Amino acid sequence: MRFRDVEHLFRLAAIFLAGTLVFVVAKAEMRPKDFGKDGHYRPAAVDEIRARAISYAGQTACADCHSDVVDLRAQARHKAVACESCHGPLATHATAMSDGTEAAKPVRPDGRTLCVRCHAAKTGKPKRYPIVDIKEHAGDENCLSCHKPHDPRIS
C-alpha cells in the first residue's frame, strides 16, 4: 500500500542523476588542469601574478630622492598618507630616475579633485576623520590656494 505510486520518485531520481552527470562533465571540462595540486587554488596563478609589471614603487623609494618632501611631511598631518595614494602609481618614474633612463615627469595631482576624494563627507567615515562641506568651505576655489598638500594644516 505504502509504495503504490513510486514512479514519480524514479522520475525525480532521474532528474537528479542527469543533473549530477552534467555537473561532473562540466567540472571535468572547465576546471583548470592544475587546480588543487597544492591546495584549493590554481598554482599557475601565482606565476601569472608574479609576471605582471609592478606599478607602485613604495614609500621608501620616494624617500631616497625626495627627502625634502619627507622632511616636510614628518610633522604634518598627512605623514601617514602614502605618497602614491595621492600621486598614483609611480614605479616607472622611480626606476627610470635611478637608471637614468628617459621618462615623463610625473604630473602634479590636481588639488581640487584630489582633496575632495578623501575630505568630502561620506557615510561610514570614522568620527576623527577630518571632513569639510566642500561647497561651504571652498566654493569653487582650488584647495591648494590655501593648503599645502604635504603639510595641509594652516594654523
Q: CA 120, CA 50: separation in Å to the nearest integer?
A: 36
Q: Which of residues 95-134 bind ligand HEC (CB under 6 A)?
A: 97-98, 105-106, 108-109, 111, 114-119, 130, 132, 134
**How far is it, in rounded angstroms, from Cα 145 to Cα 137?**
13
- Euclidean distance between CA atoms 50 and 12, whole angstroms: 48
Is 92 among the residues that bind ligand HEC (CB under 6 A)?
no
Residue 28 CA to residue 20 CA, distance in Å, equals: 12
Which of residues 27, 77, 122, 125 is near ligand HEC by CB under 6 A? 77
Instruction: Please report whether residue 80 would count as binding ligand HEC according to CB under 6 A.
Output: yes
C-alpha cell recorded at residue 56: 607602485
- Residue 28 burial (CB count, 10 A): 8
Contacts to ligand HEC by CB under 6 A = 57, 61-62, 64-66, 69-70, 73, 77-78, 80-81, 83-87, 90, 93-94, 97-98, 105-106, 108-109, 111, 114-119, 130, 132, 134, 137-138, 141, 143-147, 149-150, 152-155
